[in-house]
Amino acid sequence: MNPHLLATLGRERRRALEEDFARGDIFDNGLRMLTGRALRAMGEGLFRVGVALDDRVTVASVVETRN
């Protein structure tokens, strides 16, 4: 696919999503934000557990603190 066409379609899709988000009520928007944050936090936690269980990862990299 043409990269310029793909970029144009991406911009149009993003604009449509932003308009849909702007039309929603405050409760729905807040619920979406909280759900997104919870999913990201769970994903990061699961990733860290997987890294800790992987034999190929050094111990020093597992105990590093989060930024």
Report the alpha-carbon distance of residue 3 to residue 6 in Å, rounded. 5
State pLDDT tens for residues 13-24: 999 888 877 777
Given this model, what pLDDT does residue 24 score? 72
C-alpha–C-alpha distance, residues 48 and 60, integer Å: 13
pTM of the model: 0.41
